[in-house]
Structure 1
Amino acid sequence: MNAIIRAEIITIGDEILFGQITDTNTQWIGAQLTGIGIRPVRKTSVGDTKSDILDALSAASNRVEVVIVTGGLGPTKDDITKHTFCEYFGSELKINEQALSFITDFFAKRGRAMTELNRQQAALPTNAVYIPNQWGTAPGMWFEKEGVIYVSLPGVPYEMKNLMEFEILPRLKSRYHTYVIKHKSIRTIGVGESFLAEKIEAWEDALPPHIRLAYLPHFGQVKLRLTATGLDENILDQELEAQVKLVMPLIEENVFGYDNDELEAVIGSLLETNKATVGTAESCTGGLVAHQLTSVPGSSRYFEGSVVSYSNEVKQNVLGVSEETLKLYGAVSEQTAIEMAEGAKRLLGTTFAVSTTGIAGPDGGTADKPVGTVWIACATPSGTYTQLLNLKSSRKVNIEMTSSYVLNLLRKSILKTELTDKI
């Protein structure tokens, strides 16, 4: 019988809570669990404290059927996870001969001496199912208690991922007959979350109960994620595609892609399709737009170069912005943005060129041009398009938002430009 199986992911480690490392494990584990029909419902992070770990395990047991724990399995004294598991599951640590043989062989193959600390990694709670780790010395462990499965994995990402892929996911798939969970994302830009919600309110209200919608905003973009749950994967795919077709007429002008499409990759495809090239002239973004465009493999086929023109002297002497323009309108102005973009297009010999000039903050603003005032432009074969941005966030966010908006201006400019020299 199919059932909705829920999971909680618990990360252990002071280094995560202190912000010393970024937890990428949870994101990856969540995607893998969803792929086999197990629904992640909660993430909990705790430090290296026995009482906190015990509380997290106990609380999770009341919410879910599967608990995935990462971290705290190293050879040093601060890694207390195994001792805590002994207390939680009512067992004791004992050298697991299978684990010891594996660890001994692991060091022998590498010509390294095994210390007593390494040997103690083979000590496991007596009621744990030992899961060999082919990529390190910290073993995986599988427990079951009162109908809940607990899996303990090392926190090192590549070790955790390999254990999940080759050991844990196959075991979970064979244990549970789950519903299928399918996602479909629509990538939008240039419209705020609340405005987007108003546009699609009637469509959202009419969604069937087994299809849920989430709004995921990020730097000027909003990802609309549809999640469908059911028994038949093909039927769910068809239903999701049907919902996309229903909503597209409402938001088409703001949609740049689907699922894992990234804006810079979409732009790269448009440029290649049109046999076009691009360059950038950046002031307030400091080269970020160029970085994003060149992060796409194969971007050398359409990206020619960039001028980071922070000073007025570089704007004048390299890009050809006139001294009169800078005196009359200032560096942060529509006129300067236009001349920057057109200068880059001329200098680099490209089909398109974009420019950014603004006040990212936290200081430098005036009454007429407060922090967050940004002009962007895109020079094309048929003219130059501009846009004024009034941003109100931190410096980093303002820069990221500007880059996102100017890339979207480039995308729209490519789509509306008739390229007569297309081959």
Structure 2
Amino acid sequence: MEIITSSIITIGDELLIGQVVDTNSAWMAQELNQVGISVSRRVAVGDDWQAIWNAIDQEMAGSHIVLVTGGLGPTADDITKPLLNEYFGGKLVLNQKVLEHVRYLFDKVYKRPMIPRNEKQAEVPDTCTVIHNANGTAPGMWFEKNGRILVSMPGVPFEMKGMMKDSVIPELVGRYKLPLILHRTMLTAGIGESFLADRISAFENALPSHVKLAYLPHYGMVRLRLSATGFNREELIMQMDSLFETLQEQLADVVATSRDEPMEAAVARLLLERNATLATAESCTGGYIAHLITSRAGSSQYFNGSVISYANAVKTDLLGVPEATLQSDGAVSEATVTQMVKGALASFKSDYAIATSGIMGPGGGSEEKPVGTVWIAAGNKNGVRAMRFQFRFDRMRNIELASFNALNFLRKFMLDQSFHPKN
């Protein structure tokens, strides 16, 4: 079976200096993967003629399809179009349909006069097929050479996405006989990548050649992705379902979710299934857990609110942590986070609550409680459970690790029948 390969080239100095994060190539790769086109390389180059030329030359030699975004605007640093014109041996000609579309946008949409620089957007190489840009002035361009395809699109995300969905993907699907690419993903927690690999080595070694297993570690958790390629949909789905079920059985004690979703989504599903609500009482995480939860649409159905009790006075006044507890045990302690959970449950009238208190660094640690020490608690009306964690990274990563581990700690608490709210 021939695998149709593609490369993605993103153009712009802003990508190389970190001023703009490249989200285009990630989105394009997902879209290509869904229709069975494999992405072999993603390349970012600056606004440099020779660098762009070399990148196109290299990718055209190695991939069936090359998708290019960026450098199609009306300013002097937008050199993609003249470069492609020279690369494919053409000459720039005025395309009347594009010109009419540009005039329409300036007259009816932008409501401002069009200048000669904007008219030049309608000039395209005579060696390309024009791709209509419904959302902007710069047209896309489809080139073919030596059995290879190059498609150039604007770098503006919503313009590129419109072209991909309306024109590029449908044309590619019609052009090639494409295989089905299936993925099954699970998230594991509480086990390191190397230990995980040792545990399922026999399973991995027995996989057929068209099925691959990928390890994707993230914040102390590991995402496992099974990927398979084939042309018989029914057989491939049955095979993947069977393999994924076997993998889940072997890792039943460490699987956090058997879906391709973040931890906050797994917690959200549990809360929705139980028609239950959640509140957070955060100290060291500074509201990051609440941010993760509320980043999901529909979170108002299960999230009541949060107290960011950074100061000890707030822990006492709003969450009812006794001053004596803070004096005897300290803010970073089992006793404090336990009381923080109880205070959040009462204040927000929620079914569940999470609390965090710790030392994120770079300073503030001691021999007894070094930087990275975090106490996490989860509870409901039937009880509270707390646990000490020790992280070892910089401040921001410690905050993120504490937040993800807090959500997983809550997930396990909710699944523990001894704390089930129906008791």
Instruction: Assess same fold via TM > 0.5.
Output: yes
- Contact 1:184 1:227 (C-alpha < 8 Å) held by counterparts: yes
Moved more, 103-112 or 241-250: 103-112
Please say if 1:123 is aligned against 2:123: yes
Kindly, what percent of the aligned residue pairs are identical?
45
Aligned to 1:113: 113
SS of the residue aligned with 1:292? Answer: helix
Aligned to 1:17: 16
User: Any conservation in 2 of the 1:66–1:149 contact (CA below 8 Å)?
Assistant: yes
Secondary structure in structure 1 of the residue aligned to 2:241: helix
Quote the residue 1:51 is aligned against: 50
CA deviation profile, 1:46-82 (whole Å, cap 9, x unmatched)? 0000000001011112211100000000011110001
- Residue in 2 aligned with 1:67? 66
CA distance in 1, matches of 2:290, 2:417: 21
Residues in 2 aligned to 1:267 and 1:170: alpha-carbon distance in whole angstroms = 37
Greater CA drift, 215-224 or 92-101? 92-101
Residue 159 of structure 2 aligns with which residue? 159
Aligned residue in 2 for 1:27: 26
> C-alpha displacement at 1:30, in angstroms?
0.5
Q: Report how far residue 420 of structure 1 moved.
A: 6.8
Q: Which amino acid aligns with 2:272?
A: E
* Corresponding residue number in structure 2 for 1:312: 312
Q: Call closer, same or farther: CA 1:401–1:210 in 2, change over 3 Å.
A: same
Secondary structure of 1:74's aligned partner = coil
SS in 1 for 2:246: helix
Amino acid at match of 1:7: S
Give distance in 2, aligned partners of 1:281 and 1:382.
18
Q: Give the alignment of 1:381-392 within 5 angstroms.
A: 381-392=381-392
Give the match's secondary structure for 2:87. Answer: helix
Cα deviations by residue, 1:2-58 (Å, 9 ceiling, x for unpaired): 521100000000111111111111111001111111100110000000000001011
C-alpha distance in structure 1 between counterparts of 2:357 and 2:421, whole Å:
30
Matches within 5 A, 1:7-406: 7-110=6-109, 111-406=111-406
CA distance in 2, matches of 1:420, 1:246: 29
Number of aligned residues: 422
Q: Distance in 1 between matches of 2:419 and 2:392?
A: 36
How far apart, CA to CA, are the structure 1 residues paired with 2:154 and 2:385? Answer: 52
Distance 1:333 1:258 in 2: 33
Q: CA–CA distance in 2 between the matches of 1:19 and 1:421?
A: 48
Assess if the C-alpha contact under 8 Å between 2:45 and 2:51 holds in 1.
yes
> Aligned partners of 1:213 and 1:55: how far apart in 2?
33
Amino acid across the alignment from 1:312: N
- Kept in 2, the 8 Å contact 1:274–1:419? The answer is no
Tell me, yes or no, if the aligned pair for 1:72 and 1:81 is still in contact at 8 Å: yes
Q: Is the 8 A contact 2:381 2:421 kept in 1?
A: no
Do the aligned partners of residues 352 and 19 (structure 1) sit closer, same or farther apart at CA in structure 2, a change above 3 Å counting?
same
- Report the secondary structure of 1:253's partner residue: coil
> What's the CA shift for 1:251?
1.5
| Whole-Å separation in 2 of the counterparts to 1:6 and 1:304 | 48
Distance between the aligned counterparts of 2:51 and 2:290, measured in 1?
Answer: 45
2:67–2:150 Cα contact (<8 Å) kept: yes
Q: Is the 8 A contact 2:186 2:260 kept in 1?
A: no
Which moved further from structure 2: 384-393 or 5-14?
Answer: 384-393
Query: Residue 136 of structure 2 aligns to which amino acid in structure 1?
Result: G
Q: Distance in 2 between matches of 1:416 and 1:239?
A: 33
Amino acid at match of 1:402: A
In 1, are the aligned partners of 2:382 and 2:420 still within 8 Å (CA)?
no
SS of equivalent residue, structure 1 residue 76: coil
| 3-state SS of 2:251 partner | helix
* Contact 1:380-1:417 at 8 Å conserved across structures: no
- Indicate the larger mover: 382-391 or 6-15: 382-391
The verdict on how the C-alpha distance between 1:422 and 1:325 changes in structure 2, with shifts beyond 3 A counting, is closer
Cα deviation for residue 342 of structure 1 reads 2.0
1: CA distance between counterparts of 2:174 and 2:293? 43
Give the SS at the match of 2:196: helix
Letter in 1 for 2:17: F
RMSD: 1.8
Partner SS for 1:374: strand
SS of alignment partner, residue 319 of structure 2: coil
